[in-house]
Amino acid sequence: MKALSFRTELFTESVIREMTRLCDAAGGYNLAQGFPDFDSPAEVKAAAIAAIRQGLNQYPVTFGEPELRAAIARKAEAYNGIAAAPESEITVTCGATEAMMATLLALINPDDEIILFEPFYENYGPDSILSGATPRYVTLQPPDWSFDSGELAATFNDRTKAILINTPNNPTGKVFSRAELEQIAELCQRWGAYAVTDEIYEHILYDEAEHVSMASLPGMWHRSVTINSISKTYSVTGWRVGWAIAPDPITRQIRKAHDFLTVGAPTPFQHAAVTALGLPRSYYAGLVAHYAAAREFLVDLLLEVGFDCARPPGAYYVLADSSRLMSKFAVADDVAFSHRFLKQFGVAVVPGSSFYSRPEMGRNQVRFAFCKRWETLHGVAANLRSALTS
């Protein structure tokens, strides 16, 4: 028998989804996978059902139903300060996941490098491998997950094709400041590189945090791809509707990759996404109010039971330092700790090493997702308090 693909052999199973499986088998509380355990807005669900009843069940326009591309263009202009033509600069995809893959396929040639901030969302590793890019890493340093400007500047070179930025960030909750994005923008312009931004948590911001889209910065539109989805904002992670916004020449390439990868995102959910994007401002305020309260609750709980962490300014994750509890349990690393944590306390988390190219950098860290109902968060607190503070 001949060898299987080296590419796919290179990547491991998704640790986030593995932890979910173990959690389900153990009947635990899932703070591992970043999906809400509460339902999506009633009017958005009703719109999907209505679309199915109306017979909108065949292939969509490959690169996205016109009504949805128009709604995305309106939103991008109003919220992101990006003026994109729906006919030629927006592609609807199967979630932000496919948008990222199609974008890298559209940009990357053999020998190209892409820059990732580390820790990074685990999909970006396989995305790089599948597209053939060589990843280069710039470290985000706890507790505020800042980066060293010198390290960033030294990572750019002639082979740098693109830099991937996820703001607000998974797994750290960092929100890249305007000044940081301007610095990255300047380097992209100096080296002729593209910026690919995953802005899926753009509405989930706390305190004074401000979301800035790279494509809105001077000189960046024609070298930026802005990726987003309805998954997190409208709590419909299973619907798989996302998009990529990019200038015409890049969009042409993205659309070709998208067409052959998936043909299109589910038609009825694209129509429901139009309803979602039209929800009033009060909807976003309500969502963020819950996440802000959940953030306070979880961070206080983690500090109380022996983790070290800061309050994230955005997204719905806490990447906590577990060193003190690891010594208490005498476990060697984050993977052993996460398995022990699930078994003993019935709470699933993601081992920190899954967010690093060099696993040792995450060996004292675990990620908690707090996009959960109070019932779940209170259950987690009861389990941890009874075992860890007695």
Please identify, using beta-carbon distances, which residue of 36 and 142 lies nearer to ligand GLN: 36
Please identify, using beta-carbon distances, which residue of 156 and 368 lies nearer to ligand GLN: 368
**Least distance from ligand GLN to the Cβ atom of residue 362, Å:** 14
Using rule CB under 6 A, residue 324 touches ligand GLN: no
- Kindly state the tokens that stand for 99: 């948008």
Please identify, using beta-carbon distances, which residue of 254 and 350 lies nearer to ligand GLN: 350
Determine how β-strand 365-369 pairs with β-strand 350-351.
antiparallel
Using rule CB under 6 A, residue 36 touches ligand GLN: no
**Least distance from ligand GLN to the Cβ atom of residue 299, Å:** 18
Structural Rg of the chain based on CA atoms: 21
Question: Residues 40, 170, 251, 376: which binds ligand GLN (CB under 6 A)?
Answer: 170
Contact 49, 185 (CB under 8 A): no
Contact 343, 228 (CB under 8 A): no
Q: How many binding residues for ligand GLN (CB under 6 A)?
A: 7
Please identify, using beta-carbon distances, which residue of 51 and 369 lies nearer to ligand GLN: 369
Contacts of residue 304, Cβ cutoff 8 Å, sequence gap at least 6: 385, 389
Please identify, using beta-carbon distances, which residue of 299 and 369 lies nearer to ligand GLN: 369
Tokens 């009843």 found at: 53
**Least distance from ligand GLN to the Cβ atom of residue 17, Å:** 5
Question: Residues 17, 74, 190, 324: which binds ligand GLN (CB under 6 A)?
Answer: 17
**Least distance from ligand GLN to the Cβ atom of residue 184, Å:** 22
**Least distance from ligand GLN to the Cβ atom of residue 104, Å:** 17
Q: CB nearest ligand GLN: which residue?
A: 34
Using rule CB under 6 A, residue 94 touches ligand GLN: no
Tokens 């002729």 found at: 192
Nearest to 169 by CA among 132, 187, 144, 186: 144
Contact characters 95-124, ligand GLN, x per CB under 6 A: --------------------------x---
**Least distance from ligand GLN to the Cβ atom of residue 217, Å:** 25
**Least distance from ligand GLN to the Cβ atom of residue 64, Å:** 21
Using rule CB under 6 A, residue 131 touches ligand GLN: no
Q: Please report, for residues 10, 81, 232, 296, the alpha-carbon distance to residue 35 in angstroms, rounded to integers and kept in the order given.
A: 27, 28, 7, 19
- DSSP string of 290-352, one letter each residue: HHHHHHHHHHHHHHHHT-B----SBSSEEEEE-HHHHHHHT--SHHHHHHHHHHHHSEE-EEG
CA 117, CA 135: separation in Å to the nearest integer? 10
Please identify, using beta-carbon distances, which residue of 170 and 172 lies nearer to ligand GLN: 170
Contact 142, 115 (CB under 8 A): no
Please identify, using beta-carbon distances, which residue of 15 and 187 lies nearer to ligand GLN: 15
Contact 308, 326 (CB under 8 A): no
Using rule CB under 6 A, residue 16 touches ligand GLN: yes
* Helices and strands, counts by H and E, the chain: 14, 12
Using rule CB under 6 A, residue 34 touches ligand GLN: yes
Using rule CB under 6 A, residue 33 touches ligand GLN: yes
Considering only residues 241 to 260 of the shown chain, the ones binding ligand GLN according to CB under 6 A are: none
Contact 325, 335 (CB under 8 A): no
321 residue type, one letter: D
Q: Which residues bind ligand GLN (CB under 6 A)?
A: 16-17, 33-34, 121, 170, 369
